[in-house]
Structure 1
Amino acid sequence: MLHFEKKGIRILGIAESYRGREQSLVCGIVMRRDRIIDGCTFSHATVGGMDATDAVLAIWNRLARDDIQAIMLGGTVISWFNVINIMQLHQQTGLPVISVTYEDSPGLEDDISHHFPGDEERLAAYLSLGKRKTCQLSTGETVYLRAEGISLADAVHACNIFTAQGKIPEPVRVARIIARGLLPEDPDRAD
């Protein structure tokens, strides 16, 4: 449960980046309510795989912190249709999970069926997420949320606390910037 009255709320923001690689870089940022970064670590997810949930759990385990009060994801489908199971994340961490996306869409069922014909496991994983809820932030921007272990109203409140401007909450925005910045432009170049 998030304690909104506390100044020390910490959110684990998760985002990823890939550029034609077999593995994406998944970044986890711990951010305090005052938007100070209080931790950072990484894992990898297979592009087109089914290990995104494990990648997020690896970040959680690597951080080994008991002061994080929620996980905020930059989407539940990353690394080219690699589905994050938010119910499993909530159950294994005991934390509320909020997934934030920014574009309206009819869903990914047709795309999954097209790119992964016959992959019933992937399609079922996606469908188990349920529909996204359209929400307006205090910035006036519209976002699309999925939440597990937290009410939709509290998920919106958490997004409002951590969104300085626009529609991308800072923990997710910073995690995405770092993940993108650490990948070399040339996928064949090793750093």
Structure 2
Amino acid sequence: MKKWRFLGIDDSFDETKCCVVGCVTCEGYVEGFMYAEIEIDGLDATEKIVGMLKKSKFGKQIKCIFLPGITLGGFNLVDIQKVYEETETPVVVVMRRKPDMEEFDSAMRNLENYSIRKRIAERAGEIRKAGKLYIQTAGLSFDEARELVGAATLRGNMPEPVRIAHLVASAIIHGESRGKA
């Protein structure tokens, strides 16, 4: 079987800073990390993720990017279609719970650039149930996404690179890891 490298991305933030950590794994082994900072409730998450991947030595080797939602740093939305278009790397959003889109939309209305955020959220596409997770995809089919989620998950439900990225990001901001990815 071919070895696949996965990139899991997660964030952590406080009142002043938001860090985004990317964890590269291959067959469950950590091979490397990426790091960026984004604006809390900003609109730079997409460009920072694309930049991280394009600058990385792993960039062309990544089979799939996993995100734990389309928002980082509060409401800094990731345009998963644009990430796919600019990197040619498929993106799978994995969530433990299906978001309440009416509540999500209502919260976005309180921020600047609502129409831009709304368009990014709509471009993320349909949220579909996949086992115990809910997923959105860019650059691959639902069935392919389910297969990759399974291949990247060692135990529990969350792909291992997302889980590790979460642990590292929260330790950077809070001094120790906390919460679940």
- TM-score, L = length of structure 2: 0.89
Letter paired with 2:133: V
Q: Bigger shift: 24-33 or 126-135?
A: 126-135
**SS of alignment partner, residue 70 of structure 1:** strand
Q: For 1:24 and 1:145, how far apart are their aligned partners in 2? A: 24
TM-superposition CA deviations, 1:132-151 (whole Å, max 9, x none):
11110xxxxx1111111111
Larger radius of gyration: 1
TM-superposition CA deviations, 1:36-89 (whole Å, max 9, x none):
011112001110101110121121023133221111112111111111011111
Q: Number of aligned residue pairs: give it.
A: 172
8 Å contact 2:41–2:74 — kept in the other structure?
A: yes
Matched, 1:93 2:55: no
Structure 2, unmatched stretches of 5+, are 176-181
Matched, 1:161 2:156: no
Letter paired with 2:119: A
Cα RMSD (Å)? 1.5
8 Å contact 1:99–1:145 — kept in the other structure?
A: yes
Q: For 1:50 and 1:130, how far apart are their aligned partners in 2? A: 19
Matched, 1:29 2:19: no
Shift >3 Å, 4+ stretches: none
- Please state how far the C-alpha of 1:117 moved relative to its aligned partner: 6.5
Identity, % of aligned positions: 23
Q: For 1:24 and 1:84, how far apart are their aligned partners in 2? A: 14
- TM-score, L = length of structure 1: 0.84
Q: For 1:25 and 1:143, how far apart are their aligned partners in 2? A: 25
What is the aligned counterpart of 2:142 among 140, 146, 152? 152
Which residue of the partner structure matches residue 71 of structure 1? 65
Matched, 1:52 2:45: yes
Residue pairs, 1:63-142, within 5 angstroms: 63-65=56-58, 66-107=60-101, 108-113=104-109, 115-116=110-111, 119-136=114-131, 142=132
Q: Bigger shift: 161-170 or 35-44?
A: 161-170
